[in-house]
Amino acid sequence: IAPRLAIVIVNYRTADMVIRCVESLADERARTEPFEVIVVDGGSGDGSAERLSAHFGAAPWSSWVSVLPLDFNGGFGWANNQAMLRLLQRPQPPAYIHLLNPDTIVEPGAVGALIDVIEAHPRVAAVGSQLLEPDGSLTGSAFRFPSAGYELVRGAALGRLGRLLGIPPIVIERTVPGPADWITGASMLFRAQALREVGLFDDGFFLYFEEVELMHRMTRAGWAFWTVPASRVMHISGGA
């Protein structure tokens, strides 16, 4: 039986981080349900693809981790698209695709919490984790869409100006699952149905904002996005 969930991790010259990230998923896989992991190497050219293929080609990883080496570095969105296209074109595609940065470590229960929320809300296209700094402090994980007002406040670097103008903060902070305009690309679990309906990342974005554009497109098609604070993922910001 094909797994309901596939996790995609894009590597670019961060093989050590990828190995550590996948190791953090091993307990989660036993805790929740069997899932597969696809590690995409975006044309690293530093031996990463060969090293990752050798590492994950051996037990105990070979039964649920595979490596997809690409010939060149087409950017974050493009590399994720290559794995997602292959997954969605299968005779039995997964119901959910979780995109995870290589510079993350998944805390126990993080993947299961995402699945629980997205299964409970049929019109939610994707759910995102609460990211943590390496010291355990919370960092921005869910946001409102950019606007002229937000850019004015950001440029002025005056939160007080935003309050005077009635512009809420761009970062959405929640203690329970709830809606957000867009969720961070470091850990986001998509419903395959929404990807088939709306499409994948615009690979004209090489790095950054590709998730904002996709979620804006999905919102216009009637889909929603939720942040899930119980899904906690440590993110070494900028590590990858």
The answer to whether 226 touches 124, Cβ cutoff 8 Å, is yes
The answer to whether 224 touches 2, Cβ cutoff 8 Å, is no
Query: For residue range 148-160, what is the model confidence (pLDDT) as tens digits?
Result: 555 555 555 555 5
Averaged pLDDT, 176-190 = 96
* 78 confidence band (pLDDT: 50, 70, 90): very high
Confirm whether pTM is higher than 0.85: yes
How high is the pLDDT of residue 240? 63
Higher pLDDT, 166 or 45: 45
ω before 60 within 30° of 0 (cis)?
A: yes
Q: Which tokens is 240 given?
A: 């990858």
Query: Is a pLDDT exceeding 80 seen at residue 168?
Result: no
- Mark out the alpha helices in the chain (DSSP H runs): 15-31, 48-56, 76-88, 110-120, 148-156, 159-164, 192-198, 210-220
